[in-house]
Structure formats: C-alpha cells, structure tokens
Amino acid sequence: MSDSPTASPVERAQILQAAGTVGVLTSGAASGPRMLAALCDPAISTAAVAALIEQEPAMVARVLRVANSSYYGQPRSIRTLERALQLLGLDAVRGIAAATCLDRGLVRGAVAALIEPRALTLHSVASAAAAEALARERHPELAPEAFIASLLQNLGIALQVQLDRAGVSAMLAARAAQDARDLVMLEAACTRVAHAECMAVVYESWQLPESLVAATRYHHRPLAAPAAHQVLAGYVYLGGVLALASGYTYSLEPAAVTPAPQVLQLLALEAAAVEAVAEGLSGRVAALIEALLS
C-alpha cells in the first residue's frame, strides 16, 4: 500500500468503481447517500426532509418502522410521516439514511463472500452507539456525526473486498496465523488501499461535510487528522475500541485492543464515563438493530 494517507487519482477512480458495484453510489434523489448528504445541510427544513423522503416509499416505510420501534417507546402507533419526523428529529433520520447505506453495502455486497456480514454489522452498530454516547459526555454537538461516521466506517471493508480481494484474503490468512498487528499495519502490509481511505473517498463523492470525511479517513489514527477534526475522529476511534472490548469483534479485528492514552487525553473523558458507556452498550446495540436494521 502507498505511504500516502490519501488515495491517488487512479486509486480514487477504482474505489468509486467498486462503490458503484457494491451499490452505495446510487443516484436516486431519495437514495441513502443523497438523503444523507441533504440531511447534513444545516439549513434544511423538516418540510424539505419530508418531501425528499416521500419520493422513496421504502424510506417512508423505514422511517415509520423506526418511529414505532420499542426504542422510542411510543404508547400510540405513529401512522404519518409528519408525526414520525416530529418524534425522531433530523439526527435520527440521518441515522436511518446511514443505516440504509450500511444495509446495502454490507449485507448485500461482496463482503459476505469473505467476512460474516452479521458480525461486521454488529461491530458497526456497536461502534456507532458507543461513539455517540461518548461524545454526549463532553462534546454533545458532535454526537450525530460520531454516530454516522462510526456506523458507516466498515463499508470501506466491503469496498476493499471488491477492489482487492487478494489483499483482504491475505489479511484474513494473517489473522488465522495469529498475526496481532493492528488493522492499519496489517492493511499497509497486505492491501492496495486502506478501508478508511475507501470510505473517505466515497464520503467525498457523496459531498458530506469535511468533518465526516476527516473523521473517517483518520478513525484509526485520530491524532493524525487535521486539528479541527481530531476530537471527532477520536470519538469514532474510541467507539470502535469499546465495541471490540464489548465482544463485537469480526475476523479482521478479532480481539480487544488497548485504547491509546493520548486519545483519551484528547477527549478528556473520565474513566467512569467510559465504563458506563461500555456497560450499557449491549442493550443499546440490540435496540438499534431492532429500530434501524430489522
């Protein structure tokens, strides 16, 4: 793999071609990526969101299902999109759009041929739940972006499988041989491009905010991110660490890892707060799976 932290023009074109094959570059106005990009516009109105969702009946059904899930504990059935949006808010709808992208890329993508999609989905959801909860402790304004970036980070692995099947197979063989190097080092030795960079390129093509692009590109090395985005990248990193520590592992990250002290210092998180998030993670994951992906 190249020493450059970003993809070359040739690699970028190959990543986008792989993304199209996996199905995460759909061009419909109400597709998951298009909707996610629109929802990241701080000026968008609820009426505009409703108009966008109404273009895609499957998305309407998903929003109503989430609004009526036990996660929100509503005593009455929510039957209209308008009421669902009032209940959920834009942050939750962003999460629904992100979950649509995750579902398409992991469950239906080529990743299933090499890596168990259920394990990867659970790791993604656990990482998102942990990152969001951690961000609420010190930087609540970053919680929605921490959730989205964490939920979608593993789509990059689906793109890796499509782009460099031999490289991913080599990583899996190394893990089977008890190679304990962290994922960044393993990717550098085995693959043409890192999964984080694959997803960052896709985010750029979706025209998502630079904060999400940077947090995704550097989520394994948050201190290497531009200074303005290190904290968000730190939450995405730590969410993934807590997911692994809580048993949400998968074949490329099969064991818990020790969080980098410098990242904990960057986020100024108390140990008790991190432990509380870890303790409540399994219940939140189950609720999110039911609400977003059932």
pTM of the full predicted structure? 0.88
Note every long-range contact of 219-225, with CB atoms under 8 Å and residues 24 or more positions apart, other chains counting: 219/149, 219/150, 219/153, 220/182, 220/183, 220/184, 220/196, 221/184, 222/263, 222/266, 223/260, 223/262, 223/263, 223/266, 224/5
- Looking at per-residue confidence, does 283 or 32 come out higher? 283
Q: Which pLDDT tens digit goes with each residue over 32-63?
A: 677 787 788 778 888 888 888 888 888 888 88
For the chain, how many helices (H) and strands (E)? 16, 0
pLDDT of 118 reads 87
Q: Which CATH number fits domain 9-293: 1.10.260.40, 3.40.50.720, 3.40.50.40, 1.10.3210.10?
A: 1.10.3210.10
Q: What angle do CA 160, 11, 230 make, to 5 degrees?
A: 75
The residue type at 101: C
Task: Please count the other Cβ atoms lying within 10 Å of the Cβ belonging to residue 271.
Answer: 8
- pLDDT of 4 reads 47
Map out the domains of the chain as residue ranges: 9-293
Per the model's pLDDT, the better-predicted residue between 293 and 64 turns out to be 64
The distance between the two most distant Cα atoms of the chain, rounded to a whole number of Å, is 55
**Listed range (14-18, 83-87, 111-115, 187-191) with the worst mean pLDDT:** 111-115
CA-to-CA separations, 58 to 34, 96, 97, 207, in angstroms, rounded: 15, 12, 11, 23
Is 123 or 52 the better-scoring residue by pLDDT? Answer: 123
What pLDDT was estimated at residue 31? Answer: 60
For residue 28, pLDDT beyond 60: no
Q: Residue 18 and residue 202: Cα distance in Å, rounded?
A: 10
Q: Are 125 and 288 in contact (CB under 8 A)?
A: yes
Residue 198: per-residue pLDDT: 93
